[in-house]
Amino acid sequence: MTSATPHQRALALGVIVGSLRADSVTRRLANELVALAPAAFRPRFIEIGDLPLYNEDLDIEVAAEPPAEWARFRSDLRASDAILFVTPEYNRSVPAPLKNAIDVGSAPHDQNAFDGLPAAIVSASPGRMGAFGANHHLRQSLVFLDMPTMQQPELYLGGSFGLFDEAGTLADPAVTELLTRYMERFASWASRHGRIAA
């Protein structure tokens, strides 16, 4: 594991999980990624399940305050130095709660809270393609949000239902090593491409 140097503070890593199920494979995977994160990161989950559906009227009405959940989410994003997305795939795209979170965080138009945050995407599915469609649909949105997104290594995990044993731990040490290397690479990359580096 790498560590933050004395002259470099640990990066606040916001982790956004695309699945709302408390015991989803995606949530378990995100927990493992957080546990394996190097000391260069200070990870914390940014929850999206309580966000009301985005309605621009709630942002532009002068007399109205936007929903408190939106304000909390946007504040959590602004307190982050990098974002890790961990997502399953629904119908060859991202789950609706994740797309809604992107819409909430990027609004109002001139107050995009995602702007400039370095990002990485881990996707997983029971099938062989590892949620390739969701991963790349998400990348398309991140381009517009002006989030520098790590291109290599990519991480698509197929056969997700077999990743964990009955005790809920990763069944294959090779997968643990893969996730560890991915997080170390992301920490190094984020430190060079984010708001702090700028």
- The phi and psi torsions of 17 (rounded to 5 degrees) equal -105, 130
Higher pLDDT, 113 or 170: 113
Give 93's strand partners. Answer: 90
Radius of gyration in angstroms for the set of CA atoms belonging to the chain, rounded to a whole number:
17
> Are 106 and 145 contacting, i.e. CB atoms less than 8 angstroms apart?
yes
Higher pLDDT, 122 or 166: 122
CA distance 118 to 159: 28
Whole-angstrom distance, CA of residue 36 vs CA of residue 23: 19
Q: Is 63 left (phi over 0), alpha (psi -120 to 50) or beta?
A: alpha
pLDDT bracket for residue 196 (50, 70, 90): low
Residue 166 vs residue 28, higher pLDDT? 28
Q: Is the dihedral of CA 118, 106, 84, 129 positive or negative?
A: negative
pLDDT tens digits for 147-190? 999 999 998 988 878 788 888 888 789 889 999 999 999 999 99
Nearest to 82 by CA among 37, 25, 48: 37
Q: Which residues have C-beta within 8 Å of that of residue 9, sequence separation ≥ 6?
A: none
Kindly state the tokens that stand for 86: 């961990």
Cis peptide before 126 (omega within 30 of 0): no
Can you point out the beta strands (E) in the chain? 11-17, 41-45, 82-87, 119-124, 155-157
Sheet strands side by side (includes 41-45): 41-45, 11-17, 82-87, 119-124, 155-157
pLDDT digits (tens, 9 = 90+) for 58-72: 887 755 788 999 999
